[in-house]
């Protein structure tokens, strides 16, 4: 494939740019994730929020729990569909006729990594990546940091949706 030229989309897939995908592990979903999801939902007719399944990296919450939390916090967004996938992100995009991946970027370090992924996704399938700068309120926020703070008794209520606070505290208490 000549990477200097845009890959030609199959005839039936030329109008798929109004569908987008927000992929992630969402373990757990944070207010930063939710901010990106809300903003992307305003920009696209249909938005898939898909939990990436990585069998070699089990999360604190299993797949069904993460999807349930996402459905709960995205219930107010009628154009959002919560799903999951394993494998290449572009394969999910092909299967669901998605032409754009939306990624929130917090810092230059995120951009460095995400740019490589965006270029690979474009080269593999012509799927574009839309980088959405994170709201400065959430620029430091990550699921890992939230879990660490909660584990040591810190207040995470301003960093995750309320439904997630209760589940996270219960999970850590039971661990």
* Residue at token pair 């005839």: 11
Say if residues 34 and 73 touch (Cβ distance below 8 Å): yes
Distances (CA, A) of 160 to 18, 36, 108, 120, 175: 28, 13, 23, 31, 20
In the chain, what are the helix, strand and coil shares in percent, each to the nearest 5? 45, 20, 35
Say if residues 30 and 159 touch (Cβ distance below 8 Å): yes
Task: Check residue 4 and report its DSSP letter.
Answer: T
Distances (CA, A) of 75 to 37, 38, 48, 161: 12, 11, 13, 13
- What residues are labeled active site? 33, 57, 106, 143
Distances (CA, A) of 52 to 64, 85, 111, 129: 12, 5, 19, 17
């Amino acid at each position: 494939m000549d990477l200097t030229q845009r890959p030609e989309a199959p005839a039936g897939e030329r109008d798929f740019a109004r569908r987008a995908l927000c992929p992630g592990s969402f373990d757990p979903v944070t207010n930063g994730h939710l901010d990106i999801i809300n903003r992307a939902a305003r920009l696209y007719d249909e938005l898939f929020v898909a939990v990436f399944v990585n069998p070699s990296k089990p999360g604190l919450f299993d797949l069904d729990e993460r999807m349930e939390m996402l459905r709960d916090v995205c219930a107010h967004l009628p154009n959002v569909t919560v799903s999951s996938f394993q494998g290449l992100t572009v394969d999910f995009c092909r299967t669901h006729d998605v032409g754009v991946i939306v990624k929130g970027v917090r810092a230059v370090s995120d951009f460095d990594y995400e740019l490589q992924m965006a270029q690979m996704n474009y080269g593999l399938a012509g799927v574009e990546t839309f980088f959405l700068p994170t709201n400065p309120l959430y620029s430091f926020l990550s699921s890992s940091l939230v879990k660490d703070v909660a584990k040591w008794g810190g207040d995470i209520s301003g960093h995750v949706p309320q439904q997630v606070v209760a589940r996270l505290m219960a999970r850590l208490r039971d661990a």
